[in-house]
Chain A
Amino acid sequence: MSPSSPPPLLSMKGVTKRFFNVVALSGVDFDVRPGEVHAICGENGAGKSTLMKILSGVYTPDEGTLSWRGEPLQAATPQAAQARGIVMIHQELNLVPHLTVAENIWLGREPRRGWFVDRAAQRAGARACLARLGVAIAPDDLVSTLPVAQQQMVEIAKALSMNAELLIMDEPTSSLTDAETAALFKVIHELKRAGVGIVYISHRLDELAGIVDRVTVLRDGRYIVTKALAQTSIEEIVSLMVGRALDDKFPPPTRVPTGQTLLEVRGLRRRDGIGPVDFTLRRGEILGFAGLIGAGRTELARAVFGADPVAAGTITLAGRALAIRSPIDAIREGIAYVSEDRKAHGLAVKMTVAQNITLANLGAVSTGQGFIRFDRELAAARRYIEQLGIRTPSPDQVARLLSGGNQQKVVIAKWLFREARVIFFDEPTRGIDVGAKYAIYELMDRLAAQGIGIVLISSELPEILGLTDRVAVFHEGRVTRVLDTRATSQEEIMHYASVRGDTAAASNLASLDT
């Protein structure tokens, strides 16, 4: 580009990587300059993670060259990469829960005094890194006692402590609140000024504008283009990623919400102090649960579903009072919950797609004696694979090998096969690429149009605004307001998410995000 630009920290030319016969990356040119944030965009399966693993020395490319500050790089190893100052922050956290924050930050590189760990230096170093991030985490806290968002900050602090020259961040904001994201961006700006190069991967494209200098787009393992952010737009990036123009982020609604009350929850309280919460869900509508992380949205949904114990309150479905003591009771009544963390709570990853789809309703594909009719199971699985457009080579594929969006569809298929009347979707599009997101939005609308009541828990306000009919706003375990989606705005939702109710004064967001 411009002749005045500094030489790149790391650059790759024509890099190709194959696994057996599958080409994961082909002919990729990529470079990062000091003090630059370079985003890699692409759908799941586009080759982002392969590229990251080549950058961080996990994989060696089959073709092409890598160089570090102009010097050609030979077969790289993760250790060699780290010694050069290439540090990767994984999306899935790599912390030891039983150790303290300071111990985690210095794990494997403990400052020593003689034969012993220099605890004071360890603590001081940790405190300095955390202060640079501007987060209120004590170095002596056990990591297991911290919420996920703060654990993420510890992970970033750890990278800071390694004096990284090239930082690779994989979806760093996926579990952060807006305030924490803002704090992270401040740190990124500071790192840029210090000449650190940053490779940034995120599905939240709207974030890019604040921090990114250049964008490289990958699609199906192929290198598409590298552009300066100033010379492109989010719309253009998305269409390059998908290979077609996406006119709208959200599908036009086909559903017509009715006035009929389907699910009514009154005075529901959990033992951990969340609640009391009242809300009603109407037949055929999508009700949003908005609020900050930790406001109790997931907890409330789990309580209605029977996954966690309830202390008090009533749940009425289609006029009938329910006694829900376990998910078995909820499922029998037709209430379903699509969990936030698919791999931990939603999917039996070692089982096949077909087995996952029928898991909640095995009786429907079995004889009276409990023998599974494999022909019926396969037919049911095929039906939903086609209906939801699940991309899998066969119904017998192990669920673990599917992409995130397709795994999510398998979980949804499970509940459709169970003929659920109410479905809670908890962050259904987290970690899912743009094309698959749209498909899931469409699906939710279609389900609502069939008369299913849908609750959408989402931390992405555009998603709430683009998809729901009404929004219940949560703050500190209670619903502060139920708003009509068409008549509200991001600002109004954020207001009610940040204050106790109408009367409470608007207070500082940052102080409430813990």
Chain B
Amino acid sequence: MNERQKDLVQKFAALAGLLVLVIVFSVTSSAFFTLGNAMTVALQVTSIVYLGIGATYVILTGGIDLSVGSILALAGVVAALAVKAGMPVAPAMGCGILVGALCGAINGLCVTRLRLPPFIATLGMMLVARGVALQITGARAVSGLGDAFGALGNGSLWRVVKLDARGFPDVVFPGIPYPVILMVVLAVLASILLTRTTLGRHIHAVGSNAEAARLSGVNVGRVVLFAYVVSGALAGLTGCVLMSRLVTAQPNEGVMYELDAIASAVIGGTSLIGGVGTISGTAIGSFVIGILRNGLNMNGVSAFTQQIIIGLVILVTVWVDQLRNRQR
């Protein structure tokens, strides 16, 4: 069996685990395996996937990004304040994403230029970005943003609604939420960039052996910077989508989301040492977390127990991965 086949086996194992979860929850809860719930899960998972893609890029280079939860709050708040100031929704959200990218760039420069350990650089950004978000809003939620602000988070494609005999609306097909479409598009693009382009190859090389990559003519600093900018920009986007869904900008949104992002990457087989990881794996990891939460909720498992279970899942998957690596 060569490495590529082994990777496939690993991926199918994760996918099989996901299927087992789906089957178990379908049996234990009648409301689980329905179209409506599938859309709910997909919607809930979107933010984990956006952030997970960024986390995968950063972890692939051998780094870590703890700041995405704070960056998403700052970006969402900036977008909302821009709308309040009279800017149309689309460019306002563009500003939010830009702010995220900027925070990511600062992270990247701290790591590549100041040579700070990624853990410290992004821990600092986690505090700074959260602080700025609270400061510029006076720690209050920004509301009254108008319907257009909610379109991205709440709208959906191909929604079919019929009026029944008495004139009440009847939802034939709930439609595919825009965030879900965005998730699929982003995941495909991120995966193509990672596996098929020279930049993606350089990301792997830097994570596998940064010194060897440098001595092979790879611009290591630029590659690492790129990974943090991607992570920051995706956090910015996540912020816009989440705030749009609430039609309110919360400076307290997204606390601890960075841990979900890292967990999804790790469950999906990304190595924290760098050099190994795929977007498809991260997507599977995100759905494992999302489906666990959703299914446990439906079965009336308390939020505390959920945390315990998800924590154990992370430990077990990483342990199994280690075993697999040790065998060769």
A residues bordering B, Cβ < 8 Å? 305, 307, 326-328, 331-332, 337, 339, 344-352, 355, 359-360, 362-363, 366, 370-372, 393-394, 396-398, 401, 414
Contact = CB atoms under 8 A, between A and B. Distances in A.
A345 B212 contact: yes
Nearest to A351: B208
Given A305-B215, A351-B208, A401-B328, 12 more contacts: A327-B215, A344-B209, A346-B215, A347-B209, A347-B212, A359-B201, A360-B216, A363-B198, A370-B197, A371-B197, A371-B198, A397-B3
A414 B216 contact: yes
B186 interface: no
B197 A359 contact: no
B230 to A, nearest CB: 15
A359 B213 contact: yes
Given A359-B213, A363-B198, A371-B197, A348 B2 contact: no
B208 A362 contact: no
A342 B196 CA distance: 26
A332 B218 CA distance: 11
Nearest to B3: A398
Contacts of A355: 201, 204-205
10 contacts: A305-B215, A327-B215, A328-B217, A332-B217, A348-B212, A348-B216, A359-B213, A394-B2, A397-B3, A414-B216
Contacts of B198: 362-363, 366, 370-372
A352 B5 CA distance: 13
Nearest to B199: A370
Contacts of A344: 209, 211-212
A281 B56 CA distance: 45
Contacts of A307: 214-215
B135 interface: no
A350 B219 contact: no
Contacts of A345: 209, 211-212, 215
Nearest to B217: A331
B282 to A, nearest CB: 18
Nearest to B2: A396
Nearest to A342: B212
B255 interface: no
- Which secondary structure dominates chain A's binding surface? mixed
A113 B20 CA distance: 58
A339 B216 CA distance: 11
B260 to A, nearest CB: 26
Nearest to A418: B217
Nearest to B275: A350
B4 interface: yes
B interface, size bucket: 20 to 34
Contacts of A337: 215
B276 interface: yes
Nearest to B214: A327
B201 A393 contact: no
B4 A396 contact: yes
A396 B3 contact: yes
A214 to B, nearest CB: 35
Interface in B197-247: 197-199, 201-202, 204-205, 207-209, 211-219
Nearest to A415: B216
B217 A327 contact: yes
A348 B214 contact: no
A366 B199 CA distance: 11
Contacts of B211: 344-345
Contacts of B2: 393-394, 396-397
Contacts of A397: 2-3
Nearest to A366: B198
A351 B196 contact: no
A424 to B, nearest CB: 11
Interface in B138-194: none
Task: Enumerate the 8 nearest inter-chain pairs by beta-carbon distance, A residue then B residue, closest first.
Answer: A348-B208, A331-B217, A350-B208, A360-B216, A350-B275, A362-B198, A348-B209, A359-B216
B212 A346 contact: yes
A168 B212 CA distance: 32
Contact of A371 (B196, B208, B213): B196
Nearest to B205: A348
Given A362-B198, A401-B328, A352 B212 contact: no
A7 B134 CA distance: 80
A372 to B, nearest CB: 6
A348 B275 CA distance: 9
Nearest to A411: B212
Contacts of B217: 327-328, 331-332, 360
A422 to B, nearest CB: 15
Nearest to A362: B198
B297 to A, nearest CB: 38
A245 B212 CA distance: 37
B328 A359 contact: no
A348 B213 contact: yes
